[in-house]
């Protein structure tokens, strides 16, 4: 599918993977509508040409529908949706303070899994309204899991469960949406140098990078963004979860 001339919806677009993806798609000629929370949008600053940030909570239906209506009002045709919004708090099932907080577990699944599903279902509805290309394709949805979906570490029970859910939706979503000409692919990144890593010291970050077989460093958000563009352009790629991790297999800690 051609990126140029398409409209793209990117969640978590104010920073990290989402910001890099929005910039990469805009650089390839897409008109990008980025979604993020109010505070994140307010703090994001000036955006690249072709990127518009809209405040929306991905776990709620009405704000996402409002963003999709904005795309229609602008006369653009939504062809791409990329789900990057996510949170990653850490807690053990049973810690010194007692059992894992149920509300925390629910919040992680709400953002990472339900939020991804919410945007995917509403974006698919919008994409399906447009005329297909010559090969019958109408659009592409890219979701974000994590290698924690497969090798969740100590303290990652909520995050691992949410990302395993995203990976688990992939083949079913691709089959559900096949008759509409919409492909669904999931990317499972390893350790990426995003704002989530900002709280770690350089020493800790270097140690994390050294644990990656090759290249021995943290991944960059731009590398995730390049993979998104490749997924969009590879029309036969569908229903797959792709690891982007430098051959890293996570240990218990």
How many other C-beta atoms can be found within 10 angstroms of the C-beta atom of residue 93?
11
Quote the tokens at residue 165.
């859910």
If 0-12 CB within 10 Å is exposed, 13-18 middle and 19+ buried, where does residue 172 land? exposed
Distances (CA, A) of 253 to 4, 144, 153, 154, 220: 42, 22, 5, 6, 22
β 94-95/78-82 pair status: unpaired
Task: In whole angstroms, give the CA distance from residue 51 to residue 23.
Answer: 7
State the greatest distance between any 2 C-alpha atoms of the chain, in Å, as a whole number. 59
Query: Which H or E run contains 140?
Result: strand 139-144
Sheet holding 31-36, edge to edge: 51-55, 31-36, 7-11, 78-82, 139-144, 182-189, 241-244
Task: In whole angstroms, give the CA distance from residue 32 to residue 9.
Answer: 6
* Active-site option among 33, 159, 224, 236: 159
Known catalytic membership, residue 159:
yes
Question: Which one, of 184, 179, 194, 180, lies nearest residue 225 by Cα?
Answer: 194
Catalytic residues: 159
């Amino acid at each position: 599918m051609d990126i140029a001339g398409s409209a793209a919806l990117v969640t978590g677009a104010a920073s990290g993977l989402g910001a890099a993806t929005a910039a990469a798609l805009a650089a390839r000629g897409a008109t990008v509508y980025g979604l993020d929370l109010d505070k994140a949008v307010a703090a994001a600053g000036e955006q690249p040409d072709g990127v518009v940030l809209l405040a929306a909570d991905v776990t709620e239906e009405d704000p996402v529908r409002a963003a999709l209506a904005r795309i229609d009002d602008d006369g653009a045709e939504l062809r791409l949706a990329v789900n990057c919004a996510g949170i990653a708090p850490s807690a053990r099932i049973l810690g010194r303070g007692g059992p894992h907080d149920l509300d925390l577990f629910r919040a992680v699944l709400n953002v990472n899994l339900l939020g991804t599903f919410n945007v995917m279902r509403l974006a698919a509805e919008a994409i399906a309204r447009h005329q297909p290309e010559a090969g019958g394709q109408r659009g592409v949805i890219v979701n974000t899991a994590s290698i924690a979906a497969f090798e969740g570490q100590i303290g990652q029970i909520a995050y691992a469960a949410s990302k395993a859910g995203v990976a688990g939706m992939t083949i079913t979503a691709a089959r559900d949406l096949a008759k509409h000409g919409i492909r669904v692919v999931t990317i499972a990144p390893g350790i990426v140098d995003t704002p989530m890593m900002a709280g770690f010291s350089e020493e800790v970050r270097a140690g994390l990078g050294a644990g990656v077989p090759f290249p021995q460093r943290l991944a960059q958000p731009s590398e995730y963004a390049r993979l998104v563009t490749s997924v969009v352009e590879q029309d036969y790629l569908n229903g797959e979860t792709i690891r982007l991790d430098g051959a890293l297999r996570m240990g218990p800690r």
